[in-house]
Structure 1
Amino acid sequence: MRDITKSETSKEFQFSHRDFERVRGLIYKRAGISLADSKEEMVYSRLARRLRATGISAFSEYLDWLEGDLENTEWESFTNALTTNLTSFFREEHHFPILAEHVLKCEHPVNIWCSASSTGEEPYSIAMTLCEAFGTLRPPAHIIATDIDTNVLNTAARGVYGADRIEKLSSDRVRKFFLRGKGAQDGYVKVRQELRDLITFKQLNLLADSWPISGEFDAVFCRNVMIYFDKPTQGKILKKFVPLMKHDALLFAGHSENFLYVSDEFRLKGKTVYELANASSRGRAGSGQFRRGSV
């Protein structure tokens, strides 16, 4: 039997290694997220907030409550609490000139799916790139931005950020795409309405059997989310991307993600940029049959 350490007894809530293993199993089944052994303290810290919010006094009771009702609205808060959202405007900047060049070759309207949008910096970076590529705030394009976490989606849809979030952007981009707050909003910026109009935000779990989107996209951004899934889960998700992509579509991955040993559906085109392995044959077979990406 495992001994309880001094640090465990000093915690507000008793949290055993068995509780941690139960959490790992539940979040994997619910969202496909594989938590490493090193995440035990993080799990305690984040879920302790949920115990306080619900008035439950023990982790085992909280987990029993979740497992006893798969339709429990607390599942959403449980999942949100364990989702890591690290992002910034124009993160992995080398992707955006590639996107700009690509969209100018695409049939209009251009449709892009940002599959892990977090608090919105990524889809807004995509929107800014489209505006710059087409030379207008109203480019012939639409972006679907999805995330499993409803909290970050609400933040993204508002488009309001602390001014420190745009410090690394050029003064030209700040002037074109943001409004600075005044009075009570001093210290904040808001994304211009024209950019927000280009994006539809929607909740989506990549692990779900079906996704509430349809159509064929010119580009799919799936960056820095696959690292939380094991290889079999990554393979299933990549396979489901294929019918949603046009024959010449691009898939953008995160800097630490490598899909070459996960799926034979894609081939590397550039630094963490992929294309469909059978792009040429799909283009001939599917010519004239594309439709607008939609929700």
Structure 2
Amino acid sequence: MEAARAVNMAEPGVIEHSANLSARDFGRLSRFIYDTCGIKMPDVKKTMLEARLQKRLRSLGMHSFTDYCDFLFSPEGMEKELVQMLDMVTTNKTDFFREPDHFNYLTQTVLPEWVKRHPGATLSIWSAGCSSGEEPYTLCMVLSEFALRNPGFDFRILATDISTRVLDKAKTAIYTESQVEPVAVELKKKYLLRSKDRSSGMVRIVPELREKVRFRRLNFMDEDFGMREQLDIIFCRNVIIYFDRPTQERLLQRFHRHMKPGAFIFMGHSETLSGLNVPLVSVYPTVYRRAR
């Protein structure tokens, strides 16, 4: 397919100078990013966007952002470049056992009640915006420990992100020793495998936990999330802060449709549902519940 505009290609791998992102092209890109994945790109983020997309220009051998935009918005670009561009502009910050109060509340309050109400059932959790996998694997450790104390308890986790780059990393389940530093020593012994090359400083999540998580790409702006079952718990932490309030409200209404009556949603500590028209009730700081 032809691009909407001829692309000025440089010699392979060679760019004579760094391209500058004009106000016009920034406007085109920021509107597109908002329409595609709901992320606001105010003027203050122009420099950040320019720096991140320079890598794509170099990779494609392009001289200007105008060429890049014209290619991106062409049928060929929509097919070949869209996911690459979104990978570059989305922020993926996460840690093992991030915001640990949530995991305490999960194991001490949410799960004991759930087990009483659903004997023999399998708990379904969605880690929405899972990034490189630290959150779903943390959940695996926490839920596995709970299962040891509660025979018959079982769980499954769906983990999604818009970025294929971080999903690929999550699927490998390989991390540096510094990344797993927040994991307690006794959990490291149970759930992490050291590399045979001890000098590499790399560890991997054990197969038993990896088998509990199903990873797939999902864009929150899609009308249909492709889920046919309702969920018991959603972890969507430090994600909606990148959206404006109308988009947050629409997204949480969609989440609500996928929650069972009485299900919980865990938000980030910097996020609030105050002022949003969503049928969720606060039960703990940044933890909400769908009414029964």
Map of 1:146 onto structure 2:
160
Map of 2:222 onto structure 1:
208
Aligned residues: 269
Which is worse superposed, 162-171 or 132-141? 132-141
After superposition, the Cα gap between the structure-2 partners of 1:163 and 1:139, relative to the gap in structure 1 and judged at 3 Å, is farther
Measure, in 2, the Cα distance between the counterparts of 1:187 and 1:63.
Answer: 40
Output one character per residue of 1:6-49: Cα deviation in whole Å (capped at 9) or x when no partner: xxxx9611221222222111111111111232211111111010
Measure, in 2, the Cα distance between the counterparts of 1:21 and 1:61.
Answer: 15
1:79-90 equivalent positions in 2, closer than 5 A: 79-90=86-97
Map of 1:62 onto structure 2:
68
Letter of the aligned partner of 1:15 in structure 2?
L
Measure, in 1, the Cα distance between the counterparts of 2:277 and 2:202.
Answer: 42
Q: What is the percentage of aligned positions where both structures have the same residue? A: 35
Contact 1:150 1:203 in 2 (8 A): yes
Map of 1:53 onto structure 2:
59
After superposition, the Cα gap between the structure-2 partners of 1:138 and 1:177, relative to the gap in structure 1 and judged at 3 Å, is farther
Which is worse superposed, 26-35 or 69-78? 69-78
1:20 is aligned to 2:33 = no
1:21-170 equivalent positions in 2, closer than 5 A: 21-69=27-75, 71-101=78-108, 102-106=110-114, 107=118, 108-135=121-148, 140-170=154-184
* 2:252 pairs with one of 234, 238, 246: 238
TM-fit CA distance, 1:182: 1.9
1:164 alignment partner, SS class: coil
Unaligned 5+ runs, structure 1: 1-9, 281-295
Map of 1:197 onto structure 2:
211
Contact 1:143 1:200 in 2 (8 A): yes
1:71 alignment partner, SS class: helix
Map of 1:7 onto structure 2:
none
Contact 1:260 1:266 in 2 (8 A): no
Output one character per residue of 1:217-265: Cα deviation in whole Å (capped at 9) or x when no partner: 1100111110111111111111111221111111000111111212231
Contact 1:181 1:188 in 2 (8 A): yes
Contact 1:51 1:58 in 2 (8 A): yes
TM-fit CA distance, 1:154: 0.7
TM-fit CA distance, 1:104: 3.1
TM-fit CA distance, 1:139: 5.1
TM-fit CA distance, 1:275: 0.7
Letter of the aligned partner of 2:72 in structure 1?
L
Map of 2:7 onto structure 1:
none
Measure, in 2, the Cα distance between the counterparts of 1:270 and 1:202.
Answer: 29
2:178 alignment partner, SS class: helix
Unaligned 5+ runs, structure 2: 1-15
Letter of the aligned partner of 1:213 in structure 2?
M
1:165 alignment partner, SS class: coil
Measure, in 2, the Cα distance between the counterparts of 1:111 and 1:134.
Answer: 14
Which is worse superposed, 117-126 or 60-69? 60-69
Contact 1:103 1:110 in 2 (8 A): no
Contact 2:96 2:180 in 1 (8 A): yes
1:230-269 equivalent positions in 2, closer than 5 A: 230-269=244-283
Map of 2:286 onto structure 1:
272
TM-fit CA distance, 1:185: 7.1
RMSD: 1.9
What is the TM-score of this pair, normalised by structure 1? 0.87
Output one character per residue of 1:183-224: Cα deviation in whole Å (capped at 9) or x when no partner: 277310000111111100010001111112221111001111
Measure, in 1, the Cα distance between the counterparts of 2:82 and 2:69.
Answer: 10
* 1:228 pairs with one of 242, 246, 263: 242
Contact 1:116 1:147 in 2 (8 A): yes
1:166 alignment partner, SS class: coil
Which is worse superposed, 64-73 or 265-274? 64-73
1:119 alignment partner, SS class: coil
Measure, in 1, the Cα distance between the counterparts of 2:44 and 2:148.
Answer: 47
